[in-house]
A and B are shown apart, each in its own frame.
Chain A
């Protein structure tokens, strides 16, 4: 697939690196040569030093034969312009990053498609949705949906109350358990478990399941005593914060703490009445306590500064807040933040990149696509008729160590697999494997 990415900013470069590792033909466009030169000499992609809104630049980048054009420059209007130009110059599909909620309304979809912008992506909104998901189900660390939610992946940390500690997996309730454990993250190590592995205290365990069994997982993970979130405190009145207040359910009370008085005034204009805006420094513990931090179940830190967000979450955690969410824009800090016990880490770039990635998955599921998740790869395969995997039950297949099948989607319905499941052609199979194993796994499906 020939993909042109316009804008070598954080989202663009992240996406380019992600896709170039997968044998896609990536062309990265930007006007700033310095941004490009580092990528050009280290990754298998081509860079074009030209403005993505210039016609000659786009032609030079070979837009006529492009399968996908992604506009992820900082400015919304330039992304839209670039996408319109690209479509009219021959690009098959375009995606633009936007900053405007209005554009996303379903009734405008046709209109934009007509203009030449086929999909829109709004990272702040996606981030807000993810934050709300995280605080709604405060016991979950990571949540991922496959094929529009037919199958879900849940990551949660094991505490003393969990029911499944120190039991070999094959003894966990026989064949008919409604979940499958696909990966265990223990310290910095990721394990793809086999039947005789056990779950230990403080592991982060990744389950695949269907939506109706989520309460059951909550039970066995010992998270039933987790208080439901009613009071949310948001530090930093960024755009994500505004979006978040719009998505939180009715029963939650939200307080936004913002240092800048002008921004506070602006916030009062854009958020609902029930949201309380407090002018003050979110790092001031006395202020937080006065505003009822002790009665708050979720603390969300969304300032521009990743370090501040991490530290503020740690402080809140110490004050007894059960759920913390930190926005960490520095990708290298993410794993550190996770190890510091911050409940959910939000990264706008990664959310945007993986959303675009997901869009590609939905567009073309016939190929192997993978996504790095807790140091393991998640790949979706469409099973071809006559491939090795269809020949026998899974337990007799002799899948290599470090590879496990998380579940499959047959006719749009999520099905969990057991050792006796026989996979049929045209099933979409979700496979989890450690870094190097993807090639070996691939052989079973082709």
Chain B
């Protein structure tokens, strides 16, 4: 059944890694001589303590991970990371409520970027850095990160990868999962470092550029400023961040082939990339034209705000360069639709993802053809490969569940007294790991006004969305726990 000892053992090592990151923040607190030092040290101590307890419990574990174990490990890892990750916020007293602290951390790890903080600038540097760090760790996945740095997953790496990776199919860049993870992470690290340099050139200070780079490549969206990117008033910075959000929305395997192997064709000819480019292009064009016609902004500014906002929401980053609630209402709805779309599978973004949209639209097109040619054999081809019917039905089931969860969540939030547009935008935004919503949860507000229960629901939705529905929901099916 479930190999609980091995699960404990893995969790134990994961906690040590988290404790390591907390120590890193503590060093920052020492450097800036700020008050959050004790909070970080005690959080690190508690996390490492839990790590020791779990490791002791997992001693002499049978080194075997089944698929079930993989799903349990991944779901628990995200929950426990958030539980320990909220300690610095809570212990330092900057976020006095447990609900808020957990929400903020879960929003970080899942790279959602929705915040309950109403005065972000008042936080000490250590905590600000920790917020950004949570997103960076969560970007490609907590467990995936561990596969890359630790050899402990001599067994079961594949099962864990399958439970955490996004997208309907997973491609590898190397036969061994550990090496694949290392390459993907070096691309990720490379993007982050490149962005830090470009932001520094744009006049951002070191701390802000590091924090923003961490959250851009993770498509997270936590900023060190309450007004997000709009606070910098710099077209250069907006363009740089747009570029990196866009890059982080591409499948990292393709980026690997593009940057390190020089296989340009693989990227250029990739069907999902076409859809990504096409949707971003169309949405940007529509938004730009609407803005030029309805707002006092000039063409360049309209284009800049439009492309930034479209890319930010489609890659599910959630940075803000302009409050789109001040735009015409048709654009609010458009923004919500963009949030549903998402970028590419195998990237750091959330949402339904272009590959699924591409496949579903071709399935739908085939249904029309079938009416005219009832006996035709109609394959769905992606990148010249025929998509199997199991993949197709998995995608349809995914989309059905996605829409169903949006409606259920919407209803639940309405029951809790959240307003109409706030409720649906919060649900879409949480499930897609985006960040801002519309109305009172829009770009210029935080989500602190939501009832406590709504925050827990929203945090759960973030986790469900980040692990692509099935991984988390599977744990709630009775069949998963049955012995046969």
Contact = CB atoms under 8 A, between A and B. Distances in A.
B158 A26 contact: no
A20 B157 CA distance: 12
A2 B162 contact: no
Contact of A25 (B175, B388, B390): B175
Interface string A1-29: 01000000000000000001001011100
Given A34-B388, A436-B63, A46 B172 contact: yes
B33 interface: no
B162 A41 contact: yes
Contacts of A44: 157-158, 175-177
A25 B172 CA distance: 12
B385 A49 contact: yes
Contacts of A26: 175
Contacts of B373: none
B172 A42 contact: no
A45 interface: yes
A226 interface: no
B175 A27 contact: yes
B379 to A, nearest CB: 12
A26 B172 CA distance: 12
Nearest to A28: B175
Interface string B173-206: 0111101000000000000000000000000000
A42 B175 CA distance: 13
Given A25-B175, A26-B175, A436-B63, A43 B388 contact: no
A25 B63 contact: no
A432 to B, nearest CB: 20
A150 to B, nearest CB: 33
Contact of A43 (B158, B385, B390): B158
B67 interface: yes
B162 A46 contact: no
Nearest to B63: A436
> Main secondary structure on chain A at its contact with chain B?
mixed
A33 interface: yes
A33 B388 contact: yes
Given A42-B158, A43-B158, A23 B176 contact: yes
Contacts of B159: 42
A300 to B, nearest CB: 37
A46 B67 contact: no
Given A33-B388, A34-B388, A49-B385, A42 B176 contact: no
A337 to B, nearest CB: 25
Contacts of A37: 388, 390
A365 to B, nearest CB: 23
A276 B281 CA distance: 78
Given A41-B158, A42-B158, A2 B63 contact: no
Given A44-B157, A436-B63, 11 more contacts: A2-B175, A20-B175, A25-B179, A33-B388, A37-B388, A41-B158, A41-B170, A42-B67, A42-B158, A43-B158, A44-B177
16 contacts: A20-B175, A25-B179, A27-B175, A33-B385, A33-B388, A41-B158, A41-B162, A42-B158, A42-B159, A44-B157, A44-B175, A44-B176, A45-B175, A46-B172, A46-B174, A46-B175
Interface of B: 63, 67, 157-159, 162, 170, 172, 174-177, 179, 385, 388, 390
Interface of A: 2, 20, 23, 25-27, 33-34, 37, 40-46, 49, 436
Q: What 9 pairs across the A-B complex have the smallest Cβ distances? A: A46-B175, A25-B175, A46-B172, A41-B162, A44-B158, A26-B175, A45-B175, A44-B177, A27-B175
